[in-house]
Chain A
Amino acid sequence: QVQLVESGGGVVQPGGSLRLSCAASGFTFSSYGMHWVRQAPGKGLEWVAFIRYDGSNKYYADSVKGRFTISRDNSKNTLYLQMNSLRAEDTAVYYCAKDQEAFDIWGQGTMVTVSS
């Protein structure tokens, strides 16, 4: 079945780094753009980053620009989010989502906590 599974979350100190992964299955990963969306505890949804199906274009929210990098490996059906210079306000559940007009498939999310 169509599935996205995130991993790589955890607790990191302010200024630290973390890399999230999103493993895709059940669809042709290389044909679709992919997003990262986050949700701080008790808050709403915030779009974080997007990458085109072939990796040729990448977009970022202003809040993460210059600190986060989205990438993908179509040979491994995997999406990544490299997060550097992490701040307390980056604490959130991070979801990957498939782009088909709207965000039609979501992973279960991985929790990132930035705390000393």
Chain B
Amino acid sequence: AIRMTQSPSSLSASTGDRVTITCRASQGISSYLAWYQQKPGKAPKLLIYAASTLQSGVPSRFSGSGSGTDFTLTISCLQSEDFATYYCQQYYSYPPWTFGQGTKVEIK
């Protein structure tokens, strides 16, 4: 199974900050990478698929980049509603579909 590793596991940031989360795959996954946002007590929400394609309705301050094994999720100007946990997921080789362990974005 392909292992997905996110860094950092958590971070503290202020509203207006630029935030970057990294996801590394244990083997090449081309661009078959998705990012999800999850708020406490809620279901995950798809933000980005195909490494860099914004899901409909997702604000443009979210962006994704990368291919192969290294990927990045960037929030250009952090808003209060962006404090949440973010997960990456590969869908290149399955089963199993695999997720990173999550990155919690907290208020500084």
Contact = CB atoms under 8 A, between A and B. Distances in A.
B49 A102 contact: yes
- Binding site secondary structure of chain A: strand
A61 B97 CA distance: 9
A101 B101 contact: no
A74 to B, nearest CB: 22
- Binding site secondary structure of chain B: loop
B87 interface: yes
Interface of B: 34, 36, 38, 42-46, 49-50, 55, 87, 89, 91, 94-102
15 contacts: A44-B87, A44-B100, A45-B36, A45-B99, A45-B102, A46-B99, A47-B97, A50-B95, A50-B97, A103-B89, A103-B97, A105-B46, A106-B43, A106-B44, A109-B43
